[in-house]
Amino acid sequence: MLTSGASDLVGRVLAGRYRLRAPIGAGASGRVYVADDVRLRRRVAVKVLHAALADDTGFLRRFRAEAQLAASLHHPNVMAVYDWGEDDLPFMVLELLEGGSLRGMLDRDHRLTPAQAAHVGRQVASALDYAHVRGLVHRDIKPANLLFDEHGIVRVADFGLARALAEASWTEPAGALLGTARYASPEQATGTPLGARADLYALALVIVEAVTGTVPFTADTPVGTLMARTHAAISAPASLGPLAAVVERAGQVDPEDRYPDAATMASALADAAAALPPPGPLVLSGIHEVGDDPHPTQVGVVRQELFDQDQSDDTALFDQRPPRPTPARWPGLAAIMPAFVAGLVVVALAVAGIAVANAGDSGGRVAVPNLQGLQRLTAADRAARSGVAIDIRTTSSAEPAGIVVGQSPAAGSWASRGSAVTLVVSSGPRPVPIAQYGGKGAAEVKLLLADAGFVVGPDVVQHDETVAPNGVIGTDPAAGTPVAPGSIVKVVISDGPAPRTVPTITGPISYDAAAAAISAVQLKPVQSTDYSDTVPVGQFIRTSPPGGTPVPRDSTVTVIFSKGPQFITVPDVTNQPVENGAGLINSLGLVADIQGFQPGKKIKAQSVPPGTQVRLSTHITLTL
């Protein structure tokens, strides 16, 4: 059994596909590695869970279910799950995000401005809304699970893992409790089942820490932290500005007093962002190799948990020097010169002034809400509440049908009240034709279908005249059929040729005619003879197997013709003891009738003379 140590797994190839290169994160549940996908030739992140979890049946059952559900999530602010499996240890394959985590930024004393926190929080709330609508509660929102790509776009990681770990019978000394306590909602102290609003409470805590560097209600022990939150709501510091009201609403003790859903909280964050200056670029932490936490049980010590990462290039993987801060490129603001930034600030202030001036007009101007990642109906409702109309355009994309994948004007722009925002709505992935897989093994075909983005359904087994048993006939739908990725495709397996029914043949008939009828159904005729007391010599008697019997294709069918009655030569049994003589006659297929039977007495005469030819079963009378 492998351990969770980094040195044990570096260089290991999991599932024959993912080569682990170097550790880039560690936490209560496992360790994260940068890895090479040798099949698709791309760099990925692989999260390998601790060895003790591999023997925990409750955890593995929940892990498989949650991993499948997490892999089905497709949202701009949700970390993509590419694959999952168990190779001595359970693991998940994820997209590699090179911007590092919010935890890494805070550990380097790079706090967020309120505008930056509003921008990041709005993206996280959008991801939570997308997951909550699909019945998936995160349960472990914290800075270590908020990662950034190289442009500074945040992704929420570890959907479903917290729920799987809740069923595990094993915990590290740090355990799941440490990660839970720092960002736990009050209901976790009472054992109340967690709902979607627990994620909103945790997000409020993260926003406060991102701006101030401290987590509200953090006590010396996990239990103390949990209990402190059951007595009072989060009190937001004044430094949060317009964010304070959002944090305090989401940070209520009673879940019913918080925002009703993540979509509403995202709208509130958007309103707060509109009242703040434009966010400046983030200083990303990047990814880097990490070691074990020297103080895993201290609540006040911030760990590099799970996804704290920095540089991913080959030369930097083992560089222990602090990385040079990398400015994040906000969408549309990448590589902007300082003078241009100053100009944008002036323009933003001017636009804000115009908006204020127009506020008293009958029409007015409103901030365009962020509608990307939402379901079409949800986006329409949010747009209406924001005071804008929508114009729908559709396009094929990797997102599920009905998800908004683009909008114009962009979120945060000013628009006239009642004007239309053009939404680009996904019609689902573009159908692609299924390849021809005949001649390959079933296991290989299923792997190729999965790699092509299809869901492999249960096998279809059917007879085939040309493909050997257990060979692949094709797929259902058939090769060449355009099918959308994510659709169910079944592998059609051969059960060999269909059985044949032996023809029913009646005489009189010649052997050639009988053989032709048998050959016509791809059976092999063979001629034979047998005695018959009723069928004349040379006439057809029967087939073996009989007509109407199902047999495998190419089976042999014997066509039997008559040799006429069977004759037996009567032996001479006179002067023999009666037991011997009667036994000999019976053994030849004749019937011995004994008159005056006495044991050991000799036979004096027999009714049919010796040497006479008689039919089978003829009676011979023996006289003593």
The alpha carbon dihedral of 455, 461, 467, 469 has a sign of positive
Phi-psi region of 387 (alpha: psi -120 to 50; beta: other; left: phi over 0): left
Q: Which of 56, 83, 129, 140 is catalytic?
A: 140
Residue 151 · residue 97 · CB < 8 Å: no
Whether residue 140 lies in the annotated active site: yes
Across 317-476, where does the E strand assignment appear?
A: 326-327, 365-367, 389-395, 404-408, 414-416, 420-426, 432-433, 455-456, 460-462, 472-476
Strand partners, 542: 560
Closest CA to 368 of 440, 329, 418: 418
Strand residues in 382-495 grouped as ranges (E): 389-395, 404-408, 414-416, 420-426, 432-433, 455-456, 460-462, 472-476, 482-483, 488-494
Q: Is 486 helix (H, G, I), strand (E, B) or coil?
A: coil
Q: What CA–CA distance (Å, rounded) separates 563 from 239?
A: 113
Cα-based torsion angle of the residue sequence 204, 206, 209, 215 in order, rounded to the nearest 10 degrees: 80
What count of Cα atoms within 13 Å lies in the side-chain half-sphere of residue 393?
11
CA-nearest of 36, 38, 6, 11 to 23 is 6
Q: Would you list the DSSP string of 234-257?
A: ----GGGTTHHHHHHHHT-SSGGG
Give the residue numbers marked as catalytic. Answer: 140
